[in-house]
Amino acid sequence: MSPFWHFASRLLTRRALAGTALAMALLSAVNLGVGLLGLVPVLGNILGSDPKTLAQLAADAAAKVPVLFPRGLPGPLLDQLPTDRFKTVLIMVLGLGALTVVGALANFMHVYCSLTLTTRTIADIRRAAFIRLVHLPLGVAVSGKGADFTSRVLHDTTVLSRGLQALTSKAVGQATRGVAALSTAFIVNWRLSLITLLVAPLLALIIRKLGKRIRRASRGAMKSQAKLLEDAGEVLRGFRVVKVFTGERAEVGRFSAHNRQVLGETLRMRTAQAIASPLLETITIFVLGGLALIAAKAIIENELPATEFLVALGSLALAGASLKPLTTVLQDMQVAEAAATRLRELLTARVEEPRDRRLPRLPRHARSVEFQSVTFAYAPQDQPAILDISLTIPFGQTVAFVGPNGCGKTTLLSLLPLLYTPASGRILIDGADITTVRLRSLRRQMGVVTQEPFLFRGTIASNIAYGSPDATPQQIEQAARRAHALDFIDRLPKGLLTDVGDAGLTLSGGQRQRIAIARALLRDPAILIMDEATSMIDSESEAQIATAVQEMSGSRTVLIVAHRLTTVMSAQRIVVMDRGRVVDVGAHAQLLDRCPLYRDLTRRQLAPAGV
């Protein structure tokens, strides 16, 4: 099943709505067919040389459906019908008007139900795509595919929506009306109508060839649009850098290059979309012209009643008018096919953890954290960022990780909450392999503060409570106090209810770090990871935060990456790393005595407090 039809099948999950839409489309088509058939006696009474009364027409109609009227219509009923020629035409025209009203109402209900069905289905697909997006591994974001996947959730679902709307509200409606009109033409004169089917294979071949071209170009355009989204988002995130380094011209150039790619792919669809309708119209005109010549000869030779020809030709023209928009519908579906392919790739992408409820929950950490021969490399690099690390950290201990830039400190700590999965080796918490427990139960025990904390749109309070939705205002305030953030928060006009702006850019780096520390402390984590968490904070505030962390350290394991000597010296153990390996482990004095790399770090890289 193609991706488009895979998503189209989801329309059937709302069977009542889908059934109502289809029933209304069929009712509208039946009304059209009956109305066209009703034109035959109307025209016969107006133009024919042998007009029939309404009673005769009713009797003839009943005789054609003996299953419904095995004995014909009752004589008294027929006697009540008017015999006047004009009244007969008047009643039939009024009847056709009533059919038209019923058909219009049915058509309205069809479109209304179809659009409702499509809109709700697309909302479900968009939600499913976003759920899959947030459960993708962290590697997706750092590999540069984040903007592309975001484009699939937002833009591609809109394109798919147009395709599904074309299918449900246009294709079904136009197809049923076209089939009804074509069936009427066959009922009136099947020989004349049969000629029109001879060109059907040619029309199908043209539509198929043009559809392939549109689908390929549409897929290319969507990929290029994802690059545009990535360019625009990156510029806004790094707006300050763009400004101070006068990078406007370079960014405009990069955006323009990707914009030209979108333009080129879109123009590839131009010819196919533009030629479809005129080409089909030309073929249709030639077919109708041929029919007119054949019919003219038959009418002149009295082999074909003029009324039959007029109704048959009108029905065929109406069938063509109903089926003509299907070319545009098919183009929309071909474009949607490309979007559906990209969405299906997202919805089938590997997530961090299968939703297996059979996996056990990890009890709250109380004994040890152990790395057993852990190795990890970032794809597609061959050189491991972490190489064969074995390390045991008892519960309640504060451990600092130091080493040259790029030695693997942050990577090692990122493996603990399974932001990345080790290529080999195991990580155990209290003896349990973290890959064999529920991911949520693992991460709920951790508080993580990074060097560049991210704040979401909203208030300071909502950012502190992120990850702790049940926290009370008192708990939020207490967490802010422990992180020494209340000093600046109380000076703000709205205090904790102050809006932080986009990504927290209305606050300084140090203020954002304090809010991130408060966010981590509010979770009451069993494992607290602080990766350069105080790099933007002054030495006095850092000392206060370090004191607060020390007060809590006995009841939780604290893992710290820092470049300030005072922070490192406050740890109970220091892990020295270099080139992805653990070089030495010990206290500050021990490492100064026996580890040349640590001595060099204290002299060159580990800055004293306040520097």
What number of residues does the chain have? Answer: 611
Phi, psi of 569 (to 5 degrees): -65, -25
pLDDT exceeds cutoff 50 at 610: no
Average pLDDT of the residues of the chain: 78
SS3 state at 585: strand
Residue 377 confidence (pLDDT) above 80: yes
In this structure, are residues 39 and 59 in contact, taking their beta carbons and an 8 Å threshold?
A: no
CB 31 within 8 A of CB 106: yes
**Token digits of residue 284:** 């249709």
Q: How many CB atoms sit inside 10 A of residue 248's CB?
A: 11
- pLDDT above 80: residue 536: no
How far, rounded to the nearest angstrom, does the alpha carbon of residue 536 sit from its chain's CA centroid? 37
Q: Which residue, chain included where needed, has tokens 């008192």? A: 474
Q: Distance (Å, rounded) from C-alpha 150 to C-alpha 56?
A: 68
Residues 445, 527 contacting (CB under 8 angstroms)? yes
Question: Has this prediction a pTM greater than 0.75?
Answer: no
Could you tell me if 338 and 121 are in contact, meaning their C-beta atoms sit under 8 angstroms apart?
no
Residue (of 223, 233, 211) closest to 156 by Cα position: 223
* pLDDT tier for residue 541 given thresholds of 50, 70 and 90: low
Q: Which of 346, 454, 363, 349 is nearest to 129 (CA)?
A: 346
State the pLDDT at residue 56. 58
Q: Are 289 and 195 within 8 A, CB to CB?
A: no
In contact, 466 and 547? CB cutoff 8 Å: no
User: What average pLDDT does this structure show over 181-185?
Assistant: 72
The residue with greater pLDDT, 154 or 95, is: 154
- Provide mean pLDDT across the span 259-276: 70
Question: Residue 168: its pLDDT value, please?
Answer: 86
- Going by pLDDT thresholds of 50, 70 and 90, the confidence category of residue 402 is very high
**Contact at 8 Å (CB) between 292 and 283?**
no
Q: How confident is the model at residue 375 (pLDDT cuts 50, 70, 90)?
A: very high
Distance CA 595, CA 299 (A): 109
pLDDT at residue 455 above 90? no
Residue of 278 and 259 predicted with greater confidence: 259
Nearest Cα neighbor of 410 from 451, 352, 380, 365 is 451
For the beta carbon of residue 257, count every other beta carbon within 10 angstroms: 12
188, 308 Cβ separation under 8 angstroms: yes
Alpha-carbon distance of 388 to 371, in angstroms, equals 9
Interval 220-234: pLDDT, tens: 777 777 777 777 776
Q: Could you tell me the sign of the dihedral formed by the alpha carbons of 512, 518, 522, 524, in that order? A: positive
Expressed in percent and rounded to 5, the helix, strand and coil fractions of the chain are: 65, 10, 25
> What is the rounded distance in angstroms from the CA atom of residue 24 to the CA atom of residue 116?
14
Most confident of 252-261, 289-298, 569-578: 569-578
CA 538, CA 24: separation in Å to the nearest integer? Answer: 71
What average pLDDT does range 80-101 have in this prediction? 68
Distance linking the first and last C-alpha atoms of the chain = 64
Give whichever of 91-105, 327-341, 557-571 has the largest mean pLDDT: 557-571
Q: What average pLDDT does the segment 181-190 reach?
A: 70
User: Which residue type occupies 607?
Assistant: A
